[in-house]
């Protein structure tokens, strides 16, 4: 049976933990300037991004290359998708080229599940609509694990536009499975219904959500949400929901600050917070490569039963 | 052709019949209902159906379906759609106007009626659009359509957004004594949503549709019906709030009727799990509480009719990203079994009440003069079994489409015979 990584919702705590442990080993190898690991020698990885991305796509590409895989990127704008080919036909074509791993980002929730059902290659979800972005959550969790030494029992505040965020969903699934206490905070227009059932505490004020937090994770505010009437102006958003030097004091003094990037400086986070000593935003990027190496390695490993 | 249906339990709500007896059909009409009928007249062909242990009812009437013909024959045609209807026990069906071109003038109505006469297995009654091209700008030729044979007008699939135009549509249709069927959906409130808004939509990362999107338009259309004094029929009610609005309106004497569909009392939004596009409908599947409210509405008579909203689609329109997938399911071939299994078996409705919602009530709303076993009525009859469990296999559907969330469901209430105007169309569960 082929294996996919479609989301953290369906993974067990043990599976998540083993990816994180593997990622720590991968990180050591790349930091020790040993970027020619041969685990994926002879394997092919194709990235298919239906939405723009620089960091995630590059991170997957480098992760594949560091492991010795052949990596090809399909730029959707110039592919046959632009000629109106349907999704299943496109991925079946790539599958027919003996692709081992297909890394996909798509604007519609569930699209990556659909792809996984239609190809033989292992599929990695690099973000689907508002559903999941599992490798982002894994890199966030790796960063937390490194800085705090554990995840179990920590308090994590996820702030901002939770409703439209696949990063938030994957983090909620992953963090709660590993025993963290998650609270979400933001304007009511950006918090989706039924979140309590996902095991999180919900607040309409970022201060309350941040009280005694060990980790403050701020989401990127999509500017087009203003036009949808979800908030009046950037100015008002930043005044009531932005995290600045004053508000960050509601969290624990040693709380780390995470953000999936790119940051709107002065909106969801002030520059002083982004550049503070507790900010781990650049560390997250390094960990992104390590986590993606671990995931690629895990999915291409032959299982014992084979 | 003469047909004698022997020894079945005959239920005819309109004539208060519920007993084991015989039904004799001659020259396409119901000739006699009586015990131990024996017509062994020599030289005349007589088909005897042994209905012992089975239930004999007026042919079912579906007041809401989509036959896709003209324009979307790759999804369904009048021929395949009526085959599917016959398999489901329906003898009369009313088809919605969202074809291509839209049913908004007499010529297309004539086409549908002629085509149905030529290749149809059951009686087909077209429903015309409220506005030209379903564009919501100008009234369609309602009077002409009425004379060409529409049984109702509806913008189904859309709401007439402009309330002034909807008001005029009601007033104008009232003048021609034409039933108006309202599809209630505020597209601004839908806001790009593709399933019910709640925990499931949050968990799947799909944009949710608030129940208010349906309910504000139900409320609006009830009020418009009230000020104009013209009756309105609300299509496919799916929420508790919608149910309450209709119940309250009926209490204060508004001429409002409504229908629901089997999926709104048999499934919840949970069916969408795994991005199951066969569970994508409009209105969307709701919650356990809404299902309960729909059952209450069925039981207390707030809901007058059960309609299928038969909505066949091509596999490519369902085997795709959830947000892009088409809305709706194949309805004819599972509607009765689902209703019997989920409503009569648990005691929510009596058999008599169920049959009413599938026959006399929709016939009355559409003014069809059908839905009973009265003497000299057209011999439209359905016979079904209540004992033997059967499994739904979508591959066996006679509809061109297979989009159904009920594949593998085990149901009771299998349709054995469908008789249309004295002609056996389905016999022993097989389409002739």
| pLDDT average per 10 residues of sequence, chain A (306 residues) | 93 97 94 82 95 91 96 80 80 95 96 96 97 98 97 98 96 98 97 95 97 97 83 94 96 97 93 96 95 97 56
Residues of chain A positioned with their CB less than 8 A from the CB of B274: 113
pLDDT of amino acid A306: 40
pLDDT of amino acid A82: 63
pLDDT of amino acid A226: 79
d(C-alpha B343, C-alpha B413), whole Å: 11
pLDDT in tens, B227-262: 999 999 999 999 999 999 999 999 999 999 999 999
pLDDT of amino acid A228: 82
pTM of the model: 0.94
Partner-chain contact A169 B205, CB within 8 Å: yes
Q: Is the peptide bond before A204 cis (omega within 30 degrees of 0)?
A: no
Residues of chain A positioned with their CB less than 8 A from the CB of B208: 192-193
The residues of chain B scoring below 70 in pLDDT are 40-43
Closest by CA position to B392, among listed B88, B59, B157: B88
Chain A residue closest to B200 (CA)?
Answer: A194
**How far is CA A218 from each of CA A150, A186, A262, A270, rounded to the nearest angstrom?**
20, 10, 11, 11
pLDDT of amino acid A76: 81
User: Given B12, B309, B380, B385, which residue is catalytic?
Assistant: B309
Partner-chain contact A9 B207, CB within 8 Å: no
pLDDT of amino acid A81: 66
Residues of chain B positioned with their CB less than 8 A from the CB of A109: 204-206, 275, 322-323
Partner-chain contact A110 B207, CB within 8 Å: no
**% of chain B with per-residue pLDDT over 90:** 97
d(C-alpha B263, C-alpha B429), whole Å: 23
Partner-chain contact A198 B322, CB within 8 Å: no
Is B62 among the catalytic positions? no
d(C-alpha B352, C-alpha B340), whole Å: 11
CA distance to partner chain B, nearest, from residue A56 (Å): 20
CB B290 within 8 A of CB B239: yes
Instruction: Give the strand order in the sheet containing B305-306.
Output: B60-65, B90-95, B123-128, B152-154, B179-182, B232-234, B256-260, B305-306
Which is it for the CA torsion A36, A41, A46, A51, positive or negative? Answer: negative
């Amino acid at each position: 049976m082929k294996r996919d990584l479609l989301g953290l919702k369906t993974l067990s705590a043990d599976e998540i933990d083993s990816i994180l442990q593997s990622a720590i080993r991968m990180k050591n190898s790349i930091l020790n300037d040993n970027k020619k690991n041969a685990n994926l020698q002879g394997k092919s990885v194709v990235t298919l991004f239906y939405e723009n991305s620089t960091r995630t796509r590059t991170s997957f590409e480098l992760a594949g290359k560091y492991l010795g895989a052949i990596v090809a990127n399909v730029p959707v704008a110039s592919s046959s998708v632009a000629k109106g080919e349907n999704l299943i036909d496109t991925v079946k074509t790539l599958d027919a080229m003996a692709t081992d791993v297909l890394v996909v980002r798509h604007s519609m929730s569930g699209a990556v599940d659909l792809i996984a059902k239609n190809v033989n290659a292992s599929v990695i979800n690099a973000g689907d609509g508002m559903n999941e972005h599992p490798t982002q959550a894994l890199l966030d969790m790796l960063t937390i694990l490194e800085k705090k030494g554990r995840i179990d029992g920590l308090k994590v505040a996820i702030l901002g536009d939770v409703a439209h965020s696949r990063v938030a969903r994957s983090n909620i699934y992953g963090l709660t499975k590993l025993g963290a206490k998650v609270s979400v905070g933001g304007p009511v227009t950006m918090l989706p219904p039924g979140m309590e059932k996902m095991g999180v505490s919900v607040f309409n004020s970022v201060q309350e959500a941040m009280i005694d937090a060990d980790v403050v994770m701020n989401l990127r505010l999509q500017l087009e949400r203003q036009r949808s009437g979800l908030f009046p102006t950037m100015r008002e958003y930043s005044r009531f929901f932005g995290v600045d030097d004053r508000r960050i004091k509601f969290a624990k003094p040693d709380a780390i600050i995470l953000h999936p990037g790119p940051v709107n400086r002065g909106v969801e986070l002030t520059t002083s917070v982004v550049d503070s000593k507790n900010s781990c935003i650049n560390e997250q990027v390094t960990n992104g490569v390590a986590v993606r190496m671990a995931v690629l390695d895990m999915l291409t490993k032959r299982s014992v039963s084979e | 052709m003469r047909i004698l249906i022997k020894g079945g339990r005959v239920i005819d709500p309109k004539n208060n019949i519920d007993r084991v007896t015989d039904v004799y059909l001659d020259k396409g009409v119901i000739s006699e209902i009586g015990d131990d009928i024996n017509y062994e007249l020599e030289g005349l062909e007589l088909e005897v159906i042994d209905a012992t242990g089975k239930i004999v009812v007026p042919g079912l009437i579906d007041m809401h379906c989509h036959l896709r013909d003209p324009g979307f024959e790759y999804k369904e045609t009048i021929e395949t759609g009526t085959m599917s209807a016959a398999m489901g026990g329906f003898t009369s069906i009313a088809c919605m106007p969202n074809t291509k071109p839209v049913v908004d003038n007499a010529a297309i109505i004539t086409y549908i009626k002629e085509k149905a006469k030529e290749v149809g297995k059951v009686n087909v009654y077209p429903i015309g659009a409220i506005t030209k091209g379903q564009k919501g700008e100008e009234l369609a030729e309602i009077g002409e359509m009425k004379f060409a044979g529409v049984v109702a007008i509806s913008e189904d699939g859309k709401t007439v957004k402009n309330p002034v135009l909807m008001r005029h549509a009601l007033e104008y249709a009232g003048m021609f004594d034409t039933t108006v069927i309202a599809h209630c959906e505020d597209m601004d409130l839908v806001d790009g949503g593709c399933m019910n808004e709640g925990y499931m939509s949050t968990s799947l990362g799909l944009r949710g549709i608030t129940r208010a999107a349906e309910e504000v338009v139900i409320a609006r259309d009830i009020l418009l019906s009230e000020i104009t004094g013209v009756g309105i029929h609300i299509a496919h009610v799916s929420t508790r709030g919608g149910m309450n609005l209709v119940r309250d309106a009926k209490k204060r004497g508004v001429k409002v009727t409504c229908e629901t569909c089997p999926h709104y009392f048999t499934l919840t939004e949970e069916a969408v799990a795994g991005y199951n596009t066969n569970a994508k409908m409009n209105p969307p599947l709701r919650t356990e509480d809404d299902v309960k409210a729909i059952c209450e509405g069925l039981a207390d008579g707030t809901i007058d009719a059960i309609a299928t909203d038969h909505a066949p689609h091509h596999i490519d329109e369902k085997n795709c990203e959830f947000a892009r997938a088409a809305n709706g399911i194949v309805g004819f071939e599972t509607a009765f079994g689902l209703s019997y299994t989920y409503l009569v078996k648990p005691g929510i409705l009596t058999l008599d009440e169920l049959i009413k919602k599938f026959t006399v009530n929709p016939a009355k709303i559409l003014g069809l003069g059908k839905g009973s076993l009265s003497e000299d009525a057209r011999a439209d009859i359905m016979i079904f079994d209540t004992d033997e469990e059967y499994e739904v296999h979508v591959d066996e559907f006679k509809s061109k489409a297979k989009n159904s969330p009920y594949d593998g469901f085990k149901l009771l209430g299998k349709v054995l015979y469908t008789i249309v105007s004295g002609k056996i169309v389905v016999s022993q569960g097989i389409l002739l």
